[in-house]
Homo-oligomer: A and B are copies of this chain.
Amino acid sequence: MEQMTQLFKALSEEMRLRILMLLMHGELCVCDLMAIFNEPQSKVSRHLAYLKNSGLIKGRRVGKWMHYALKEPMDGVFQAQLDLIKTQLTHNPLFEEDLKKMEEEKKKKDRCGEDSAITKEDKNHGKRTDK
C-alpha cells in the first residue's frame, strides 16, 4: 500500500516521468540525461535517487560514470503501470522530443561509457570493469 502511494509519488513529477520514458528504451548515464534535458546535474541526480529509492530503477557504476536502467526484475504492479504510461505518453510531443535527443546523444562517439556497453577493452587494456 505504501509501496503503491510511493510509486505514484515517483510518477508525479515531470522530469521523473521523462527519465522513465527514456529508460524504457535502454540504459542511460547521468551525463546523457543532463544533455537531453539541459538541466543541472544536481537536479538530474536528485530525481534519479528518488526513482531508485522508489524501486523503479537501478544504477551500476561503469568507470567513473553511473548508468541507470529500469530495475530488473521489475515488480509486477510497477511494470503494468509503466506499460500503461508508455502507451499514454509515447505520442506526447515532449517525450518524442526527448527520444529524438536521446538518439542524437547516443550517436555522439566518445560519450561517457562509450556506447553504453561494448568497447571497454580499448581503454582498459583488455581488463573488464564489470559485467
Q: Which residues of A contact B (CB under 8 A)?
A: 1-2, 4-6, 8-9, 11-14, 17, 77, 80-81, 84, 88-89, 92, 94
Contacts and interface: CB of A to CB of B under 8 A. Distances in A.
Contacts of A13: 5
B8 A92 contact: no
Q: How many copies does the complex hold?
A: 2
A12 B17 contact: no
Given A80-B84, A81-B84, A84-B81, A8 B5 contact: no
Given A77-B88, A88-B77, A5 B14 contact: yes
Contacts of A94: 1
Contacts of A92: 1
B12 A5 contact: yes
A77 B88 CA distance: 7
7 contacts: A1-B14, A1-B92, A5-B11, A5-B13, A5-B14, A9-B9, A80-B88
A17 B77 CA distance: 15
Contacts of A17: 4-5
Given A5-B13, A12-B12, A80-B88, 8 more contacts: A1-B94, A4-B17, A4-B89, A5-B17, A8-B9, A9-B12, A11-B12, A80-B84
